[in-house]
Structure 1
Amino acid sequence: MLSLERTIINRKEPMQLKKNNIKLFSYILSVKSILLIFVGVLIPFLSVACTQSVNVVHVAGKQSNDLYQILDKHNQIETILYDSPMKAAKQAAAGDALMIFADEYPAKRAELSAEFFSIVREKKLRVYLEYPSFLPDVELGKTVKADLERAVVNSSFFGGMPDSLDVLSINGLHYIPTNISESYIVAAKVAGFDKAVYGLPEKTIPVLFELPGYPVLVSTTNLSNMVRGRYAPQKAWTGVWNSILEYVLPENSFVGLEWKPEIQAAFEKTEELPTQYQMNSIEKGADWFFSSKMLVHESLEDTLEIMKDAGNWMLDWNASIPVGDGKNGVFECVFSRIDEKGSQPIGIVRRGDCNAETAMALACAGNVLKKPEYSRIAENILDFYLFESDAMKGEYGNPTHGAYGLIPWGISNFAWYRASYGDDNARFLLGALTTSALTGSDRWDNLLMKSLIALHRTTGKSGFRGSRIDVPDFEKNGWEHYYEKDTKYYSPHFEAYVWACMLWAYHKTGDQIFLERTEKAIKETMHKYPEKWQWTNGIAQEKARMLLPLAWLVRVKDTPENREMLYTVVNDLLKLQDTCGAIREELGNLEMGKYPPPQNNEAYGTAEAPLIAQNGDKVSDLLYTTNFAFLGLHEAYYATNDPKIKAAVDKLAEFLCRIQVVSEKHPEINGGWMRAFDFGRYEHWGSNADLGWGAWAIESGWTQGWIVSILALREQNTSIWDLTSNSKVKQHYKGLKKQMLTGVK
């Protein structure tokens, strides 16, 4: 026992020693670790401190300047602000960085002199300056306001970000012509989505260049107020400014510049959404009609007449513009034109479709948000257009005229009044019928039934109407000419919503005349799908528009053939849906395109155009495609009860709620949906080639009206078809048919 006990004790002693050694070793390691951590923290701190003392930038400009604000907050850059370039140059030490900003651009140039440049050369200052009043040995012309020119990178100066031929936006561009031949950035009229796809034209304007004989970068415009000017794309402009800073601070290193743009998407691509995100989006979307000043106030009427007489169709937005109550109708849009302050003007045309679609959006939003005042405004809008305005008077109100019962394109002048587009007329009806159902009012039913018959009797024997028929055409031909004509036009953009209205009219009246021609035209169009389709701004939008009549055809005749046609288009459209929910824009065969992308630089900005240059560009079009895909898929789900379609609609709804514009600085766009969204860059970007409705436009009806409405219908768990099922328009049909379709069986 003793021997065994001794053995055990003897074994404990070396174990205890080992434990003590381990404790000592651990202690030494912990001390070393603390020292290493301390050194690891201290060295970067000292490095930053040293860097901060080296990266001095002398700035001549105002404290409110965007770039100054960014530099001043940067923890590796020390800024010293002066009120004149000369003071800054005199105070700077040899080799220092100096930046001259033109804060009164475009009214006033940065004041420079020969003496200033002598100091720069003598001290070997590294300089960036913009919009100068003087440059040594360089001719400076009178300031020019750009028209269609965009900024294009013309060198490898920026290290590939941005790259050569990349396109940049300088909104509200004013530039000074010079005799400089080589420039890192030029302004030029170029076609392309984000690159000048046809290269640079012969004529280019220098925008950013190095001054010969001096360590000076010169901009012939203002680049430093890029935040308030909403220059884009964001990543490209970050690269531009990082390269300029590297030029004026060549021996130093610093973390790149960052800034928050004045307009953003409501949520990031993968950000977790709040529970009530859809309701919040509806509320903000409805509020946009007020903050954007879309509702015309009666006090503006005289001003609007003066503007129209002068050929001016854009009203500069400002906070003091009064907001109407619907009794004077609705403006068309916020235009895509962005000035140097980042503001966008109001398009003052009063269109029929936009009025009815806005009424629908406010009625839908008012219903789910429990805001009865929205519904009253919606009723006022329809009363204005159908009863108070000239829309349904004159030729359109004359029972003996061929245009009788149709709804004119617009009422702002005769060019708008004379035109009757079938698709615009149809969307007026869809908006008005939905508004009627939500408000419970039937006072517009007679006019709406009349318009349904008018659309039918101006549709040809094969069920196609064509794009538009003008008042003078009716005076020459009468309506019977178009009813008996064998028109063929495989363009869902113009035909599909007329077909949807005819199917709705058939369902309400039971009269086969609304179904027969429509069914024939739909089947013939699908037989030509998609190679023979005439597309307008892209083939994706034609697919999106075709969904609604196909869904409603299933409603009235649920056959395997009709379902197959619907699923053919649904499945092809969903091939364009990104994982984030976006519908990617797509072009068809160019020879079938009415408005293809510009085919050369000269064509840029001369006609309507897509947002993309080629298939694969990651852009959603919320004016022509995504908005109508949202409507069509929504109605297709309720027609089929297919969970696959519902999942696609859910993804699309989430995407739309994410990309809704947020901008405290710009109420005219806050809560809106712009035409273009680049879901690759995840910012509002696209080719601005369209002559009228560019990348940053917000259409009150086509875009805002439909998105708000479908989001609200989702909250009510209903469709337009079901919501309007109790319409009483049929009570007016017998008398109107006798009046308008005399002799038609």
Structure 2
Amino acid sequence: MIALVDKSMEMKNLVRFNHYFSNINELLHEDLHQYTCIFINGLNKGKPMKLSYEILEKLWNFVEHGGILYGELINCDDFPSSRLFGFKQNFSVTHCRLEKLVISRDNSLCKKGQLLEWHGPFLTGFTFDTERLLNIGHFRETHCTEEEGKYPGIVVKNHGKGRTIFSTFSFLGNDHNWMLRPNWLWNQVMKWLQMEYHLPLKSKQLVIQPSKENNLEKTIEKGMNWFLTSGILPKEDGSLGIYENVHSIRSDISKDFRPDCHAHTALLFYLYGKYTNEPTWIERSQNLLNYLFEAGYQDTDPDSATYGFWKWFQSPKEKPDQLFSDDNSWVALVLLYLYRKTGNTEYKERGLLTAYALLHTQNKNGLRPECIREKELLDHGTAYFRNSTMSSMNPHFEAIVHSTFIQAYLVSKDDTFLQTAYQGTLTLLDNKRDLKFMYSKTAGYSRFLLSLAQVYAVTKDETILKELHEVIDYLAKNQHESGGIEERDNPDPDRYGTEDTGVFRMNGEGIADQLYTNNFLLMNAWEAWKATCDPTVKKFYEKLVRFLSSIQITSPKLEFNGGWMRSFHLESGEYFGNNGDTGWGAYVIESGWTNAIILSGLILREIDQSLLD
């Protein structure tokens, strides 16, 4: 697309083009000197546009006589085009992976070293006789870097009375505005280009707006509607299961199936059915779980080493292999809770089957490894794990097992479940210096709170109550004025560019995580309030409620509308965070782990119930 701006236009903070051309050759018959600016988006079917010598000659003349030429993703591998734009292309088009953009110099609106994200194609090459405004590189930092960047991003070259401005990446022609992050900083760049370089640009509007809602009824309704309109359910009644997420980078539905996501969502659908007195939602809950049963996710072979455990994703392998403690525990916890509410004996049988499989591989300290492989069970048997001292020491994995054992105790009355949960909790508390955290201490403590609350609710042990308050105090110290918990104490800030990393690196970055911290904390803080009846815990919870309700997404894009992304920047009030996690990054919307858990935490409040009731 080629756009031209008439000289009679006043420069305002918006784009108003007088003429558009879909064919670059139409410029050959146009008097370009009647225009002040020409914009050329060179990307065509994934390839940069090649300009003819006749077009380049005419554009060169336009610029030398005072015109402003903006080019984007134009093929610059020859001398005339590279000398016009001041950029020599050395390879064909590349697609953005973990690259970011860095601002190359201080100006009245931006600071050198500030980082921006985009998603799409870019050209690599080198510059001459130009000023670099943005560079492209691999930067681990979240907000600002001292590194210069490897490749040019936006460059400016003066010719006679005019200038060319060239973008090597998909910028003004980017159809996916939500991928230009952070929005506030991109708008500062827009103003910079307008004020210093006289490009008539308008601000980029957020496609992903926080709702700023404070009406829980509306928040819940909007969140439930996301499940029906986003495409996350292959079939609306839940009979074909539920997909895992809206992908962080691609922004499309990831069509993976995981039992834990099904369990989270089945819990939500049941709670919402009770909240609204609509049986359709309870039927959806049943359908999600029936899908898991019928598709063979659980090993129900008594002669199998993995008897009772679940595959953690839809796998063509016959038996479960990676037996993650948290994923298996969530399924068992929900099944046992729903049995207590519905009387469905299949929920009881399958839930206890998993609970006993966990119990039989739990060590004498009440702990376990974060993941057991099928081959380990085949080689060593369950006794090996019972007699071992190996454990993850990570509340992310251990706490949910203990909460599952509390549900199993309530259903089976087998005191071994209660004693193992109690012992495991005490072991963690007695060895707090040895606790391990995956993404942050705030995330780990948010998960720990559930087992502390529920073990205390059953045992009334004052030691556990004291430690519960210490966890709340730590989290409250990191509670932003908006109510969200700011991520803190990353155990491995240099872990970057793989699956399972944090969306912040260093303390003070102002990032709230809705995949591992605030989401689970909402439900877990509610359980802590129900267990303790402590008004300080209730106040802590209510602030978190207001925060999560206020950042629920409003968007014309149905995949986003009504959901919560993982990473929210507390100071700017928009979704933004470190992009180092390639699997579940800053902008993922998780069906179970995020949306279902948040909404469950809100509905439990509205119906004034605990998971132990």
TM-score by length of 2: 0.90
Question: Which of 39, 42, 58 pairs up with 1:99?
Answer: 39
Q: Is the 8 A contact 1:152 1:167 kept in 2?
A: yes
* 2:549 corresponds to 1:643: no
* 2:46 corresponds to 1:155: no
Q: Which residue in 2 is equivalent to 1:403? A: 306
Shift of 1:414: 3.3
Find the residue that maps to 1:97 and give its secondary structure: strand
Name the structure with the higher helix share: 1
Instruction: Between 423-432 and 544-553, report the one with greater CA deviation.
Output: 423-432
Equivalent residues in 2 for 1:208-219, closer than 5 Å: 208-211=154-157, 213=159, 215-219=163-167
Whole-Å separation in 2 of the counterparts to 1:437 and 1:263: 39
CA deviation string 1:298-355 (max 9, x = no partner): xxxxxxxxxxxxxxxxxxxxxxxxx3532222211111013xxxxx122222111011
Shift of 1:249: 2.6
Whole-Å separation in 1 of the counterparts to 2:206 and 2:50: 25
Name the structure with the higher strand share: 2
Q: Is the 8 A contact 2:325 2:370 kept in 1?
A: yes
Q: Is the 8 A contact 2:177 2:206 kept in 1?
A: no
Q: Which residue in 2 is equivalent to 1:109? A: 49
Shift of 1:380: 0.8
Shift of 1:626: 0.8
* 2:456 corresponds to 1:456: no
Q: Which residue in 2 is equivalent to 1:283? A: 221
Q: Is the 8 A contact 1:544 1:625 kept in 2?
A: yes
Whole-Å separation in 1 of the counterparts to 2:68 and 2:430: 67
* 2:533 corresponds to 1:630: no
Whole-Å separation in 1 of the counterparts to 2:277 and 2:528: 28
Find the residue that maps to 2:152 and give its secondary structure: strand
Find the residue that maps to 1:581 and give its secondary structure: coil
CA deviation string 1:363-405 (max 9, x = no partner): 222222343222111101111112x01212xxx2221333211
Whole-Å separation in 2 of the counterparts to 1:626 and 1:442: 33
Shift of 1:109: 2.9
Q: Which residue in 1 is equivalent to 2:578? A: 687
Letter matched to residue 238 of structure 1: N
Shift of 1:422: 0.9
Q: Is the 8 A contact 2:525 2:541 kept in 1?
A: yes
Whole-Å separation in 2 of the counterparts to 1:559 and 1:72: 73
* 2:209 corresponds to 1:264: yes
Question: Which of 204, 207, 226 pairs up with 2:153?
Answer: 207
Shift of 1:432: 2.7
Whole-Å separation in 2 of the counterparts to 1:72 and 1:411: 59
Equivalent residues in 2 for 1:553-702, closer than 5 Å: 553-588=455-490, 593=491, 596-597=492-493, 599=494, 604-664=496-556, 666-702=557-593
Q: Work out the percentage of aligned pairs sharing the same amino acid.
A: 25
Q: Is the 8 A contact 1:401 1:478 kept in 2?
A: no
Equivalent residues in 2 for 1:342-357, closer than 5 Å: 344-357=251-264
Question: Which of 107, 126, 143 pairs up with 2:93?
Answer: 143
Give the aligned length: 594
Q: How large is the Cα RMSD of the aligned pairs?
A: 2.8
Alpha carbons of 1:278 and 1:132: their partners in 2 closer, same or farther (altered >3 Å)?
same
Whole-Å separation in 2 of the counterparts to 1:644 and 1:368: 26
Q: Is the 8 A contact 1:232 1:685 kept in 2?
A: yes
Find the residue that maps to 1:407 and give its secondary structure: coil
* 2:96 corresponds to 1:179: no
Q: Which residue in 2 is equivalent to 1:541? A: 443
Find the residue that maps to 1:553 and give its secondary structure: helix
Whole-Å separation in 2 of the counterparts to 1:121 and 1:646: 65
Q: Which residue in 2 is equivalent to 1:35? A: none
Q: Is the 8 A contact 2:297 2:310 kept in 1?
A: yes
Alpha carbons of 1:79 and 1:146: their partners in 2 closer, same or farther (altered >3 Å)?
closer
Structure with bigger gyration radius: 1
Whole-Å separation in 2 of the counterparts to 1:349 and 1:513: 36
Equivalent residues in 2 for 1:72-471, closer than 5 Å: 79-83=17-21, 90-93=30-33, 96-102=36-42, 104=44, 106-107=46-47, 109=49, 111=51, 113-134=55-76, 135-137=81-83, 138-140=87-89, 141-156=91-106, 159=107, 161-171=109-119, 173-180=120-127, 183-196=132-145, 199-200=147-148, 204-211=150-157, 213=159, 215-225=163-173, 228-230=176-178, 231-249=180-198, 257-267=202-212, 273=213, 277-296=215-234, 323-338=235-250, 344-386=251-293, 388-392=294-298, 396-414=299-317, 417-437=320-340, 439=342, 441-471=344-374
Find the residue that maps to 1:721 and give its secondary structure: coil
Find the residue that maps to 1:443 and give its secondary structure: helix
Alpha carbons of 1:62 and 1:95: their partners in 2 closer, same or farther (altered >3 Å)?
closer
Alpha carbons of 1:348 and 1:78: their partners in 2 closer, same or farther (altered >3 Å)?
closer
Alpha carbons of 1:358 and 1:76: their partners in 2 closer, same or farther (altered >3 Å)?
closer
Instruction: Between 82-91 and 643-652, report the one with greater CA deviation.
Output: 82-91
Shift of 1:494: 1.1
Alpha carbons of 1:362 and 1:169: their partners in 2 closer, same or farther (altered >3 Å)?
same
Letter matched to residue 689 of structure 1: G
Find the residue that maps to 1:354 and give its secondary structure: helix
CA deviation string 1:587-638 (max 9, x = no partner): 15xxxx3xx22x2xxx631342111121011111111111111121110000
Q: Is the 8 A contact 1:462 1:487 kept in 2?
A: no
Q: Is the 8 A contact 2:306 2:319 kept in 1?
A: no
Shift of 1:496: 0.6
Whole-Å separation in 1 of the counterparts to 2:318 and 2:574: 36
Letter matched to residue 379 of structure 2: K
Find the residue that maps to 2:323 and give its secondary structure: strand
CA deviation string 1:450-488 (max 9, x = no partner): 211111111111111110112111111111211222234
Q: Which residue in 2 is equivalent to 1:718? A: 609
Find the residue that maps to 1:208 and give its secondary structure: strand
Letter matched to residue 191 of structure 1: R
CA deviation string 1:54-91 (max 9, x = no partner): xxxxx93399xxxx9xx999588764223166767954
Letter matched to residue 296 of structure 2: D
Find the residue that maps to 2:315 and give its secondary structure: coil
Shift of 1:416: 9.2
Whole-Å separation in 1 of the counterparts to 2:139 and 2:542: 38
Alpha carbons of 1:76 and 1:331: their partners in 2 closer, same or farther (altered >3 Å)?
closer
Shift of 1:510: 3.5
Q: Is the 8 A contact 2:260 2:327 kept in 1?
A: yes
Whole-Å separation in 2 of the counterparts to 1:79 and 1:178: 30
Alpha carbons of 1:127 and 1:328: their partners in 2 closer, same or farther (altered >3 Å)?
same
Whole-Å separation in 2 of the counterparts to 1:458 and 1:609: 28
Shift of 1:222: 2.4
Instruction: Give 5+ residue unaligned stretches, structure 2.
Output: none
Whole-Å separation in 2 of the counterparts to 1:500 and 1:547: 10
Shift of 1:442: 3.4
Letter matched to residue 199 of structure 1: E
Instruction: Between 692-701 and 410-419, report the one with greater CA deviation.
Output: 410-419
Shift of 1:131: 1.5
Letter matched to residue 448 of structure 2: M
Shift of 1:98: 3.3
Q: Is the 8 A contact 1:166 1:194 kept in 2?
A: yes
Find the residue that maps to 2:333 and give its secondary structure: helix
Q: Is the 8 A contact 1:148 1:189 kept in 2?
A: yes
CA deviation string 1:479-537 (max 9, x = no partner): 121122223432101111101111232344333322333322212211232x4211101
